Structure 1
Amino acid sequence: MSKQVMVCLFITALLTAAMTLGLQKIYIRSTSLEAHGNDLKDDAKVIQRAINNSYKNKDGLVKLTGNKQYVIRSGLVIKEGVTLELGQNTKILIDGDFRAIQLEKNASVINGIIEVVDPNFKSEVIFLDGKHKFWSWERTQINNVSIINSSRSHRGSAISLHANGDGNFISFVNVINNNVAGFQNGIEIFVDHNGSEEEPSWINGNRFVNMTLDDCVNYIVIDSSVSVPNESSGNLFNGLQIQLSKVSKTIMKVSGSFNTFQGMVWDQHLLNNQDKVVRFTQESANNRLDMNVDVFSILDEGIQNSYAE
């Protein structure tokens, strides 16, 4: 065997050993969390510790796997650059009233089930704060998560985006393939402005794709001005499936401009009231609705909003 071949084999062996150690490290980190769950004890601290360590060590991934239930009685902050990945049937149970999961920029939560079990819950399950300044080169996403309020209280918000103050913004975040059921508000976008005219705040250009929203009081709420200094524009809601129930009041209440909504609404006959279920406020313009909603169910106080007549 030549010296060159022996060197190549030695290098290959070293690389294989390094990869093995790396995989073992991930496996050990993952299974350390699997020692928790299924015991009704509060797992928030151990999950947050794993997230903080992943952020500090630049590992970027925390896994909760298996058909297990993890209880949290205080909120989690997914640090910048960290992904919290759940198994397909892994549950995080929210026991209490608090903002459950906050995403910093370039942070994500994927897969699994996040379930509210406390009827006193009236906060947000997944929350994005515009102070982190989400932009196109970030990898922030909420993907393939079922967000359920099983307490039957119909309180709280499942997914909430807030921008409040000088230069705060959320743009180009992807919210894809998620299921939402049982909340006061399914998707909530709120843009306030308490600062100077020179530093506007906005929530623009985000994508909500292939979302199923079921049994909510209000399914989509966008609260902003039609334009700067507190604007919510160009957000795309595509592939919506909205299942109404007897508690439902509005399919959407929309301010802002150039937002688009496309999808299906099911069982409008279940509504107990004759109020307008789609409402474009006075602070709305050029929004587009492409859904099977009767025109008599639409209240349009804005400018040049479009929908089927």
Structure 2
Amino acid sequence: MSSVHSALVTARSALSAVTDNASREAEDMLCHLLGWDRLKLFMENRTLLNETAAQKFEAMVARRIEGEPLQYLLGHAGFMGLDFLVRPGVLIPRPDTELLVEMALSHLKALEQARPSADFFKVADLGTGSGAIALSIAHYNEASSVTAVDLSPQALAVAEENVRRLGLDQRVRLIEADMFDFLAGAEAASFDLIASNPPYIPTQVIESLQVEVRVHEPRLALDGGPDGLGPYRRLAVMAHRPLVSGGRLVMEIGHDQAAPVKQFLLDAGVWEKVECIRDLQGNDRVVTAVKSRAAV
């Protein structure tokens, strides 16, 4: 039988071929398998693993080496300081997307100051996946009532579990629908804010992505059509109707998509204050726009 220490040494060596965070990933996987925290892992590093635990750990490491995302192996991912369940069939939340949530929360805070007598503010999250965006908004803004929309039953099943885990059943509603069908059928002027991290990777680019993404993550959440801009063209001409006058649209974009996405919004003739916000790495990351008060 091998000790915790020797198992970690072996795993780190094997994982170093596929990740720059081999030590951390090996420790995360063994903690998950044993049900230990990191402190116990270090304090008990001479403990012997039984045969079953050793075999399970070796199998988990092998799956990671073959390209399965760490978050799927662990069954959860951190986002906005919260813990979300994730599993195959659901897009893994990325730190990049936190900027979108921060922009949404900033707008909602401004609304609270402008309309202090309002009971709540209605938000729609289009393409919710695990619910990371919708639930983060609801968690950090208690005045928000969020409708989270996704076409995938798999994703919504995970989102439903996350709703329950975070205790947000009363303020987050899940709807299984195509986001554009939802927009077409939504009541006019019914939302204060619409947020979306739509699929925006060009179809032909997907095959060049890391194996973790191209093989394991859902193509439905990745493929933005031939040029990656298909969803933005439709959002630019459809998202204004369900928004109240002065309501805001907040969208994540690819690093090279700011110019065309902004132009789609300007060409639609119903948006104002169209702007792009860069992330901490200096990449274009979020485009926001306000529904013109003249638009219907």
| TM superposition score normalised by structure 2 | 0.28
Larger relative contact order (Cα-Cα within 8 Å, sequence gap ≥ 6): 2
Select the structure that is richer in helix. Answer: 2
Select the structure that is richer in strand. Answer: 1
Q: Which structure's CA Rg is the greater one?
A: 1
| TM superposition score normalised by structure 1 | 0.27
